[in-house]
Protein backbone atom coordinates (compact mmCIF):
# COMPACT_ATOMS: atom_id res chain seq x y z
CA UNK A 1 0.00 0.00 0.00
CA UNK A 2 1.34 3.39 -0.98
CA UNK A 3 1.19 6.36 1.45
CA UNK A 4 -0.07 9.65 0.07
CA UNK A 5 1.93 12.73 1.04
CA UNK A 6 -0.53 15.09 2.81
CA UNK A 7 1.90 17.71 4.06
CA UNK A 8 0.64 20.43 1.73
CA UNK A 9 -2.98 19.80 2.69
CA UNK A 10 -2.24 20.14 6.42
CA UNK A 11 -0.43 23.46 5.91
CA UNK A 12 -3.41 24.90 4.00
CA UNK A 13 -5.53 24.63 7.17
CA UNK A 14 -2.99 26.72 9.10
CA UNK A 15 -3.48 29.60 6.64
CA UNK A 16 -7.25 29.46 7.09
CA UNK A 17 -6.85 29.61 10.86
CA UNK A 18 -4.53 32.63 10.55
CA UNK A 19 -7.07 34.46 8.38
CA UNK A 20 -9.82 33.68 10.90
CA UNK A 21 -7.77 35.02 13.81
CA UNK A 22 -6.84 38.17 11.86
CA UNK A 23 -10.50 38.74 10.97
CA UNK A 24 -11.56 38.32 14.60
CA UNK A 25 -8.88 40.81 15.71
CA UNK A 26 -10.00 43.42 13.17
CA UNK A 27 -13.67 43.01 14.19
CA UNK A 28 -12.81 43.42 17.89
CA UNK A 29 -10.73 46.53 17.17
CA UNK A 30 -13.62 48.09 15.24
CA UNK A 31 -16.09 47.27 18.02
CA UNK A 32 -13.86 48.83 20.71
CA UNK A 33 -13.40 52.02 18.65
CA UNK A 34 -17.17 52.23 18.11
CA UNK A 35 -17.86 51.80 21.84
CA UNK A 36 -15.41 54.58 22.65
CA UNK A 37 -17.11 56.89 20.14
CA UNK A 38 -20.55 56.07 21.56
CA UNK A 39 -19.34 56.96 25.07
CA UNK A 40 -17.88 60.30 23.88
CA UNK A 41 -21.07 61.13 22.00
CA UNK A 42 -23.18 60.24 25.02
CA UNK A 43 -21.16 62.57 27.26
CA UNK A 44 -21.45 65.47 24.79
CA UNK A 45 -25.25 65.02 24.57
CA UNK A 46 -25.85 65.31 28.34
CA UNK A 47 -27.06 68.77 29.35
CA UNK A 48 -25.17 70.38 32.22
CA UNK A 49 -27.07 71.29 35.38
CA UNK A 50 -26.04 74.08 37.73
CA UNK A 51 -25.57 73.47 41.45
CA UNK A 52 -25.62 76.66 43.50
CA UNK A 53 -24.26 77.28 47.00
CA UNK A 54 -22.94 73.82 47.82
CA UNK A 55 -21.31 74.28 51.20
CA UNK A 56 -17.81 72.79 51.49
CA UNK A 57 -15.43 72.46 54.40
CA UNK A 58 -11.90 72.07 53.16
CA UNK A 59 -8.38 71.28 54.23
CA UNK A 60 -5.54 73.01 52.43
CA UNK A 61 -4.24 71.01 49.43
CA UNK A 62 -6.71 68.15 50.01
CA UNK A 63 -9.40 67.18 47.48
CA UNK A 64 -12.98 67.45 48.75
CA UNK A 65 -15.50 65.29 46.87
CA UNK A 66 -18.55 67.13 45.57
CA UNK A 67 -22.09 65.92 46.27
CA UNK A 68 -22.75 65.15 42.58
CA UNK A 69 -20.99 62.87 40.15
CA UNK A 70 -19.89 64.88 37.12
CA UNK A 71 -18.70 64.07 33.62
CA UNK A 72 -17.88 67.71 32.85
CA UNK A 73 -17.24 70.40 35.43
CA UNK A 74 -16.74 74.15 35.72
CA UNK A 75 -16.83 75.76 39.14
CA UNK A 76 -16.65 79.05 41.04
CA UNK A 77 -15.87 79.38 44.74
CA UNK A 78 -17.34 82.09 46.98
CA UNK A 79 -16.63 83.19 50.55
CA UNK A 80 -20.30 83.80 51.34
CA UNK A 81 -23.67 82.23 50.64
CA UNK A 82 -24.86 85.43 48.95
CA UNK A 83 -22.23 84.75 46.25
CA UNK A 84 -20.84 88.27 46.61
CA UNK A 85 -17.21 87.55 47.54
CA UNK A 86 -15.48 85.62 44.79
CA UNK A 87 -12.39 83.57 45.68
CA UNK A 88 -9.45 83.89 43.26
CA UNK A 89 -9.07 80.90 40.91
CA UNK A 90 -5.39 80.81 41.92
CA UNK A 91 -6.52 79.50 45.33
CA UNK A 92 -8.53 76.44 44.18
CA UNK A 93 -8.92 73.92 41.40
CA UNK A 94 -11.84 71.73 40.37
CA UNK A 95 -11.21 68.34 38.81
CA UNK A 96 -12.89 65.17 37.63
CA UNK A 97 -11.22 61.92 38.64
CA UNK A 98 -12.01 58.37 37.60
CA UNK A 99 -15.20 57.83 35.62
CA UNK A 100 -17.28 60.59 37.19
CA UNK A 101 -16.11 61.66 40.65
CA UNK A 102 -15.74 65.42 40.98
CA UNK A 103 -13.74 67.30 43.58
CA UNK A 104 -12.37 70.70 44.56
CA UNK A 105 -8.94 71.32 46.03
CA UNK A 106 -8.16 74.56 47.84
CA UNK A 107 -4.54 75.45 47.05
CA UNK A 108 -2.00 77.52 48.95
CA UNK A 109 -4.60 79.51 50.83
CA UNK A 110 -3.60 81.88 53.60
CA UNK A 111 -5.26 81.67 57.00
CA UNK A 112 -8.46 83.69 56.95
CA UNK A 113 -8.42 84.19 53.17
CA UNK A 114 -11.24 81.69 52.67
CA UNK A 115 -13.97 81.51 55.29
CA UNK A 116 -15.37 78.17 56.57
CA UNK A 117 -17.53 76.95 55.01
CA UNK A 118 -16.88 78.13 51.49
CA UNK A 119 -19.70 78.04 48.92
CA UNK A 120 -19.29 76.43 45.55
CA UNK A 121 -21.37 77.00 42.45
CA UNK A 122 -20.66 74.62 39.59
CA UNK A 123 -21.99 73.45 36.26
CA UNK A 124 -21.99 69.70 35.99
CA UNK A 125 -23.08 67.14 33.40
CA UNK A 126 -24.32 64.21 35.48
CA UNK A 127 -24.14 60.58 34.30
CA UNK A 128 -27.33 59.47 32.54
CA UNK A 129 -28.78 56.03 31.90
CA UNK A 130 -27.26 56.03 28.40
CA UNK A 131 -23.83 56.89 29.79
CA UNK A 132 -24.07 54.23 32.50
CA UNK A 133 -25.01 51.61 29.91
CA UNK A 134 -21.97 52.46 27.76
CA UNK A 135 -19.73 52.15 30.84
CA UNK A 136 -21.28 48.74 31.63
CA UNK A 137 -20.82 47.61 28.03
CA UNK A 138 -17.15 48.66 28.04
CA UNK A 139 -16.58 46.83 31.33
CA UNK A 140 -18.16 43.66 29.97
CA UNK A 141 -16.22 43.90 26.71
CA UNK A 142 -12.94 44.28 28.59
CA UNK A 143 -13.05 40.54 29.35
CA UNK A 144 -13.11 39.59 25.65
CA UNK A 145 -9.36 40.03 24.93
CA UNK A 146 -8.50 37.45 27.60
CA UNK A 147 -10.72 34.89 25.92
CA UNK A 148 -9.28 35.64 22.48
CA UNK A 149 -5.76 34.92 23.72
CA UNK A 150 -6.94 31.65 25.26
CA UNK A 151 -8.66 30.59 22.03
CA UNK A 152 -5.53 31.43 19.99
CA UNK A 153 -3.29 29.44 22.36
CA UNK A 154 -5.59 26.41 22.26
CA UNK A 155 -5.74 26.63 18.45
CA UNK A 156 -1.95 26.80 18.16
CA UNK A 157 -1.63 23.82 20.52
CA UNK A 158 -4.09 21.88 18.35
CA UNK A 159 -2.15 22.75 15.21
CA UNK A 160 1.11 21.59 16.76
CA UNK A 161 -0.45 18.30 17.87
CA UNK A 162 -2.00 17.88 14.44
CA UNK A 163 1.31 18.49 12.70
CA UNK A 164 3.11 16.05 14.97
CA UNK A 165 0.56 13.36 14.23
CA UNK A 166 0.52 14.12 10.48
CA UNK A 167 4.30 13.99 10.09
CA UNK A 168 5.07 11.10 12.43
CA UNK A 169 6.94 8.21 10.93
CA UNK A 170 5.22 4.88 10.63
Domain boundaries, the chain: 7-43+132-167, 47-127
Q: What is the pLDDT of residues 34-56, one digit of tens each?
A: 777 776 676 667 777 788 888 88
Residue 46 pLDDT: 74
Asked if residues 69 and 127 have their Cβ atoms less than 8 Å apart, the reply is yes
Residue 139 pLDDT: 73
Q: Which helix (H) or strand (E) holds 23?
A: helix 7-44
Measure the CA–CA gap between 79 and 105, rounded to whole angstroms: 15
The strand pairing partners of 92, in sequence order, are: 106
User: Of 10-19, 118-127, 130-139, 141-150, which gets the smallest average pLDDT?
Assistant: 10-19
Q: What is the pLDDT of residues 54-93, one digit of tens each?
A: 888 877 888 888 888 888 888 888 888 888 888 888 888 8
Amino acid sequence: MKHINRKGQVLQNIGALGIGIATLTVILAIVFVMMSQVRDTTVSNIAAATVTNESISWTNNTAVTLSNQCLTLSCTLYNDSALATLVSTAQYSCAIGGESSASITVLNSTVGAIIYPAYLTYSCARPSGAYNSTVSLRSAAATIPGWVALIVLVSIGGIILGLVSAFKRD
